[in-house]
């Protein structure tokens, strides 16, 4: 049995965030476990905010794979190819 790849998506309730969640869910394969963290004011839990802080999320949407914030999400917009290099959508 292979280990699941942990894909975390951090969103803030905007249309771009919803589109990102949809794209990640389409990219994901059976080896990906996708978790969405809603950071929108009034909906964010302390756990989600703390997880975002630990990973260094400073903007949304953002994606982390296996406990590391994707480099493309540190400097700009989500990049499908960068996420594929991290293993998103690729069977383990």
Looking at 3.40.50.720, 3.30.43.10, 3.30.70.20, 3.40.30.10, the CATH number of the domain 5-85 comes to 3.40.30.10
pTM for the full model?
A: 0.87
Confidence of residue 2 (pLDDT cuts 50, 70, 90): low
Query: Per residue in 8-30, pLDDT tens?
Result: 999 999 999 999 999 999 999 99
Computed over every residue of the chain, the mean pLDDT equals 89
User: What pLDDT shows up at residue 61?
Assistant: 93
Q: What span, in angstroms and rounded, lies between the C-alpha atoms of 65 and 84? A: 10
As a whole number of Å, the CA-based R_g of the chain is 12
* Domain-wise residue ranges, the chain: 5-85
What long-range pairs does 54-58 form, CB within 8 A, spacing at least 24? Answer: 55/8, 55/10, 57/10
CA 41 remoteness from chain centre: 18
Query: Per residue in 30-49, pLDDT tens?
Result: 999 999 999 999 999 999 99
């Amino acid at each position: 049995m292979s280990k699941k790849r942990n894909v975390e998506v951090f969103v803030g309730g905007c249309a771009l965030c919803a589109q990102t969640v949809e794209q990640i869910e389409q990219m994901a394969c059976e080896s990906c476990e996708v978790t969405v963290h809603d950071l929108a004011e009034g909906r964010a839990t302390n756990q989600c905010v703390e997880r975002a802080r630990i990973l260094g999320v400073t903007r949304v949407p953002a994606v982390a794979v296996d406990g590391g914030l994707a480099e493309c999400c540190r400097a700009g917009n989500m990049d499908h190819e960068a996420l594929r290099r991290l293993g998103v959508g690729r069977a383990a």
